[in-house]
Structure 1
Amino acid sequence: MNQPYNKYTPADHAMWKKLFERQMEQLPHIASEAYLSGIEKVGFVADHIPNFALDTNPRLRKLTGWEVYVVPGLIPHREFYQHLADRQFPASTWLRKPEQLDYLEEPDMFHDTFGHVPLLSNQAFCDFMANLSKVALRFIDDEDALQRLSRLYWYTVEFGLIREKGELKIYGGGIISSPGESAYCLQQEVPKLDFDVAKLLQTPYHIDRFQDHYFVIDSYEQLFDSVPEIEGFLENIAQNSSVH
């Protein structure tokens, strides 16, 4: 499946520009350095929707060996994790309409692309996602393990915070692409928890409102280094459940 780039209308490009500029009014002060530098590295600009085949993917392949892989929308777990394990980030190509400006039931291209792709320029983060997905494929038929992995993905890739130079910054694509949550998550009264694999794998999340709390990493290398612990935790649960 290819990105139907020639079918994007002036209204689509205008929507991308509006969303892009709205987020870039606040992100330079609150987003991770890796994300902000990634925007330039992958060539994202306000004036037009990214062209995956001609611009984004050639840049990503040189940077980290990854690419954006076009999907029609939400896809099954096995397919999703297989693409990530193969260093392909699944992204939809449809863009929200004006009446969907602030809320979508299903992620659109702005969320998938603007929210996630710039950080695919960071090798440690990319390696974390690929290795985590290999673990997911190992447990793909275990519903409990998949639920726990979805929590880890949610609280890192989608809604993660990071400490940089003594300050909290955002890197999760779900926050990055949401003007409301970008401002909300860094408020002092919102609980911030240190990254803890066991705790995170046991903490449910919300899909229909801002999170009750956020997990904070110290570096993207910390995420990458945590994968063996994640796998070990899931192995122990699987062994215990088989005994009982």
Structure 2
Amino acid sequence: MNTFFDYKNKQVANLPLHLRKYIVKQEYDKYTSVDHAVWRYVMRQNYSYLKNVAYYPYIPGLKKAGLTIEKIPSLQEINNALAAIEWGAVTVDGFIPPAAFMEFQAYRVLVIAADIRQLEHIEYTSAPDIIHESAGHAPIISDTKYNQYLSYLGKIGTKALFSSKDYELYESIRALSILKEMPNVDKEDLAKAEALVLYNQQNLGIPSEMALLSRLQWWSVEYGLIGDINNPKIYGAGLLSSIGESASCMQPEVKKITYTIDALKVAYDITKEQPQLFVTPTFQNLIDVLEQFESTMAYRVGGLESVTKAIECKNICTAVFSSGLQLSGVFSKVYADTNHAIKYINTQGPSSLAFKDQLIEGHDVNYHAHGFGSPVGKLKDATKSLENYTTADLLSAGIIVDHVIALTFENGILVEGKLVGQTYIEDKLVLLGFADCKVTDMEGNVFFEPGWGMFDMAIGNSIDSVFNGSADKKIFEDQLHISEQPTHQQNYIAKDLKYQSLFKQIRDYREQAKSDDSLNQIWQQIQNDFETDWLSTMELLELADTMPTQKVLADALRAQLKIQSEKYPAFSKLIKDGLKIIDTKLKFE
């Protein structure tokens, strides 16, 4: 971890070790001149359209986030800018699990995909890329209410329970996004990947908390509209970074719905344009809706229903006893009394105990390697909760170390054995340790046998909270879901390098004001080697059109673009939109 680079940003520096594992180096020098041209085209188009429909002033928003229209931003530039509002940014390798993504937000750190879309996908890509993450999310983050919402979303997202099916869907979406950004991908492989995503989407079963929260995020952070439902503005990053859908989404064919808690009932498909969008009147409304959802979450509700959800997740979760003791592991069983109150819970496999998110010494995953079980509830005929017993209370009740005792609970659980230890933390009794212990109930269930070793009994009248992951994040670091499938890294051949050199020449001319003759030389190179390339022709026309001495060249370039537009329908709208900016002499300010 000595190599971790925090960009001298406080938020990034504060990231815990388990999140740092998702971070990759930006490797800015690997962005090609073509990549910068793709960024520039998209950003110019965004400004041309979004200046009228985006919620915020686009150029000021970019500047506040450390971004410009002219080039791909460096993470240092973004972090320098975001530090002013106490946010930061890091780069990751494509999609990361939703729980990790949201935890970054809780730490007020934007997650930005390091890659940029191919020229072939310049209008839209389903894969996360630096255009989507930085140009979509970052410019609006200076809005106080919005960044409060993002941080709040991240905070409760770290608690949201997710299922194994959620992770299967995540992996299939990641695999599809990688395939879509690979050059010359096999169409059959792509069809199979799309079918798998569709299958996983349709077979999630009852949506988990994370699935529902992801819907709220999708219809707000990614695809949200704000203001008057009849004349809304765009703030969702998915729309702001898509030069195609940012325009089509405003058409009447796309249904506009007021954003309420009911948005979580609407599933989404990342591979298609959205048939409906949600409009929030204010960012405060997003916070209000999130508060409604939070009140239903297992970490706020606790009890039998919440532990049952944790069992269904089949992932590491944490249950918090009323004493404050935290049990982390994969929950396997829960027993309840006739009033549906929990009387006994079990985990399977490595488990740990913590208090206030700090491991209790001696109770790590090595000690509890085969799971953990404990009764939950009040002692029969007790005048107060066991967790509130003082040492004097224990003595008075006959609960004495080195004595054989029997504890009978109101729910019928019976614990019999030799008491060998007691653990207090912050004046709360949280554990009792037994040797030669047997735990049973009135129905004849046997929960623990003397031959199984030491019995550590957790103390608590109830389970007050259940949340995703472990209490002490350091304990289960090796259980992190980090995909083994890397994103595609392009290997360039000689022609690719020549193509990149072409765009570098154009950029150098624009930035260094070279002689007019060099424009004609570049045009000759395009005609000889890249006759079908519309973007280099467009960039060259942008320069020639401002020079009275280059009217002949400008006319030739326009004629070529017209031919390309007619011959290649896929380029037609891109060319038309690019020409519109040149012809209107749009000022970027």
TM-superposed CA distance for 1:139, in Å, is 1.8
Give the % identical residues.
Answer: 31
- 2:248 alignment partner, one of 184, 193, 196: 184
Say whether 1:46 aligns with 2:69: yes
Name the CA shift for 1:30/1:73 in 2 (closer, same or farther; >3 Å). Answer: same
Moved more, 137-146 or 149-158: 137-146
- The answer (yes or no) to whether the contact 1:34–1:119 under 8 Å persists in 2 is no
CA distance 1:101–1:233, shift in 2 (3 Å):
same
Out of 38-47 and 129-138, give the one that drifted further. Answer: 38-47
1:65 CA displacement: 0.9
Give the length in aligned residue pairs.
240
Equivalences for 1:192-203 in 2 at 5 Å? Answer: 192-197=256-261, 199-203=262-266
| SS of residue paired to 2:244 | helix
Q: State the Cα deviation string for residues 166-207 of structure 1 (Å, max 9, x = none).
A: 83101000011112211122123421111111x111111121
Q: Which of 66, 83, 86 in structure 2 is aligned with 1:61?
A: 83
Aligned match of 1:147 in 211, 220, 223?
211
Q: 1:114 to 1:30 in 2, by over 3 A?
A: same
How does the TM-score come out when normalised to structure 2?
0.39
Matched to 2:79, the amino acid is: N
Higher strand share: 2
Residues 132-155 of structure 1 show CA distances to partners (whole Å, capped at 9, x for unaligned) of 122121123456111101100100
Please state if 1:161 is matched with 2:182.
no
Match of 2:282 in 1: 219
Structure 2, unaligned runs of 5 or more: 1-23, 167-207, 309-339, 341-589
2:138 corresponds in structure 1 to: 117
**Cα distance in structure 2, aligned partners of 1:211 and 1:165:** 17
Q: Partners of 1:110 and 1:73 in 2: how far apart?
A: 12
Q: When the two structures are superposed, what TM-score results if normalisation uses the length of structure 1?
A: 0.89
Distance in 1 between residues matched to 2:96 and 2:303, nearest whole Å: 25
1:23 is aligned to 46
Give secondary structure in 2 for the equivalent of 1:70. strand
Structure 1 unaligned residues grouped into runs of 5+: none
User: Residue deviations 1:24-45, cap 9 Å, x none?
Assistant: 1100011102666422322322
In the other structure, the counterpart of 2:35 is 12
Equivalent residues of 1:52, 1:68 under 8 A apart:
yes
Task: Confirm whether residue 131 of structure 1 aligns to residue 194 of structure 2.
Answer: no
The code of the aligned residue for 2:66 comes to G
- Residue 296 of structure 2 aligns to which amino acid in structure 1? F
The structure with more helix, counted as a fraction of residues: 1
Native 8 Å contact 2:131 2:241 kept in 1:
yes
Aligned-residue Cα RMSD (Å) equals 2.3
**Stretch of structure 1 that moved more, 118-127 or 233-242:** 233-242
Quick one: distance in 2 between partners of 1:13 and 1:177?
15
Cα distance in 2 for partners of 1:73, 1:217 equals 29
1:38–1:122 contact (8 Å) kept in structure 2: no
Q: Provide the residue aligned with 2:91 in structure 1.
A: 70
Quote how far apart the aligned CAs of 1:105 are: 3.7
SS of 1:138's partner is coil
Whole-angstrom distance in 2 between the partners of 1:203 and 1:166: 21
CA distance in 2, matches of 1:164, 1:37: 23
Q: Which amino acid aligns with 2:268?
A: Y
Deviating above 6 A after TM superposition, structure 1's stretches of 4 or more consecutive aligned residues are 236-239
* One-letter amino acid of the counterpart of residue 34, structure 2: A
| Offset of residue 23 of structure 1 | 1.5
> Which of 224, 235, 249 is equivalent to 1:171?
235
Deviation at 1:124, TM superposition (A): 1.2
